[in-house]
Amino acid sequence: MLDRLFAIMAKVESGVRAERSAEERQIFDAARDHIYAVFHR
């Protein structure tokens, strides 16, 4: 289940990186890191 979530997030991230500004990437990365931290407690 979590593996699927992270796979989807990685796919979204690769699409996001191509077309987002640096600021948006920073926000996305922070959100992703927060989600990882929550699930890996």
Rounded to 5°, the CA angle 29-31-10 comes to: 60
Q: Which of 41, 17, 11, 38 is nearest to 29 (CA)?
A: 17
CA max distance for the chain: 32
The pLDDT averaged over each successive group of 10 residues in the chain (41 residues) is 80 69 83 87 73
- Statement: the pTM of the whole predicted model exceeds 0.95: no
DSSP class of residue 18?
Answer: H
- Give residue 18's pLDDT: 62
